[in-house]
């Protein structure tokens, strides 16, 4: 017997590495040392920092992967993987430097996973970070044929004195909601449960709004997570009064927004201050999901919350709108105990 008979194809692994070489190369930025193929990725820290702090984050895509595999569409799921990590480290005011990925599959299909890595490279370019390295594991018997899992790891850098940590937030600060691009990468176990219970196929058209009338369920729910890095970093440098940032992921606004507050603070959100996208309304109706559960599961159209000085709120909103983001004033910081109140 040999390794191939046991289910692991070393030649397929070598073919895969060659297929992703160009994708990895196009993400290189200043600081990358060496090339693909080493035992470790090397990155030289940028100069100009007085007290540089490294900020790290790791995440996955969750069961959104099941939809990608069911639809045999793998070109954007890598963007989700990057987005979930870089948007998290961004909330500290940190600039992503490099990204690592881990891909595991039952049987290595080089073309399939090369599409995933292409998406990862696209996401890295959107975030301005380098795809520095990764690992691909072929695990026969652990994953089914055609199945794979993905994990991502990001390292960012910030000036210690300029990091956002809750101490800058003041009672009276305004909360601005930056629109999400859709479901992003949380709540997909509920999405899939609703679809399966209703016996819908992923190839069916979702005719619920002008934006979705020509798209299939798979296309709508595979819309990649929005990456907020470049416009938010530019806003921080432009002194637009940003005091806090919250990436709205699992747990929605109620769980994530209070995480960027200081002691003795809460946040009051005006429930009808933004338009909830049609796909969330459709999910609520199809699954008979209570409103509170919707808000505790999904981002409900707000992918990033920005806490700003009230005197600069209008200027900040105008800036983000100029960058193509639908932006709304959705609430304010009040005295309280790190909680969220809907009014």
Count Cβ atoms below 10 Å from residue 146 Cβ, excluding itself.
13
**Count: domains in the chain:** 2
The confidence score (pLDDT) of residue 1 equals: 77
Q: Is residue 4 part of a domain?
A: no
pLDDT in tens, 57-83: 999 999 999 999 999 999 999 999 999
pLDDT in tens, 181-199: 999 999 999 999 999 999 9
Q: What pLDDT was estimated at residue 36? A: 76
Does residue 115 share a domain with residue 216? no
Residue 5 has pLDDT above 80, yes or no: no
Which domain, by its residues, includes 245?
A: 174-342
114 with 148, same domain: the answer is yes
**CATH number of the domain enclosing 116:** 3.30.1330.10
Share of the chain above pLDDT 70, in %: 100
What is d(CA 6, CA 314) in angstroms, rounded to the nearest whole number? Answer: 62
Sign of CA dihedral 308, 310, 312, 314: positive
Q: Span 96-106, mean pLDDT? A: 97
Buried b (16+ CB within 10 A) or exposed e, 180-209: bbbbbbbbbebbbebbeeeeeebeeebebe
167 found inside a domain: no
| Residues 121/36, Cβ–Cβ less than 8 Å | no
For residue 39, is pLDDT > 80? Answer: yes
Burial class (CB within 10 angstroms; exposed 0-12, middle 13-18, buried 19+) of 220: buried
pTM of the predicted structure, to 2 decimals: 0.95
Distances (CA, A) of 231 to 178, 242, 246, 316: 11, 12, 15, 11
Rounded to the nearest 10 degrees, what angle do helices 278-287 and 188-197 cross at? 60
Q: Do residues 81 and 205 share a domain? A: no
CATH code for the domain in which residue 268 is found:
3.90.650.10
């Amino acid at each position: 017997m040999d390794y191939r008979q046991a289910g692991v194809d070393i030649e397929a692994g070598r073919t895969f590495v060659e297929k992703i070489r160009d994708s990895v190369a196009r993400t290189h930025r200043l600081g990358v040392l060496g090339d693909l193929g080493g035992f470790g990725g090397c990155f030289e820290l940028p100069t100009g920092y007085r007290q540089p702090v490294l900020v790290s984050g790791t995440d996955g895509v969750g069961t959104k992967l099941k939809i990608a595999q069911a639809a045999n569409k793998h070109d954007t799921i890598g963007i989700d993987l990057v987005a979930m990590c870089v948007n998290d480290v961004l909330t500290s005011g940190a600039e992503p430097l490099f990204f690592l990925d881990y891909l595991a599959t039952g049987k290595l299909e080089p073309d399939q996973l090369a599409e995933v890595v292409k998406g990862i490279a696209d996401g890295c370019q959107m975030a301005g970070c380098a795809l520095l390295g990764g690992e691909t594991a072929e695990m026969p018997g652990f994953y089914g044929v055609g199945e794979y899992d993905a994990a991502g790891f990001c390292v960012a850098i910030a000036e210690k004195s300029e990091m956002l940590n809750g101490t800058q937030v003041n009672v009276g600060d305004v909360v601005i909601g930056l629109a999400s691009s859709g479901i992003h990468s949380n709540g997909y176990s509920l999405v899939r449960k609703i679809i399966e219970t209703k016996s819908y196929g992923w190839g069916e058209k979702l005719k619920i709004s002008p934006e979705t009338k020509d798209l299939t369920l798979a296309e709508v729910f595979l819309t990649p997570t929005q990456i907020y890095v470049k416009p938010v970093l530019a806003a921080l440098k432009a002194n637009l009064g940003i005091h806090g940032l919250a990436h709205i992921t699992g747990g929605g606004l109620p769980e994530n927004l209070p995480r960027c507050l200081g002691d003795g603070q809460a946040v009051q959100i005006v429930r009808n201050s933004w338009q909830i996208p049609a796909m969330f309304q459709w999910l609520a109706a199809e699954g008979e999901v209570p409103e509170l559960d919707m808000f505790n599961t999904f981002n409900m159209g707000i992918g990033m919350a920005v806490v700003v000085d009230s005197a600069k709120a209008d200027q900040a909103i105008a800036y983000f709108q100029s960058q193509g983001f639908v932006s709304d004033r959705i609430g304010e910081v009040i005295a309280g105990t790190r909680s969220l109140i809907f009014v």
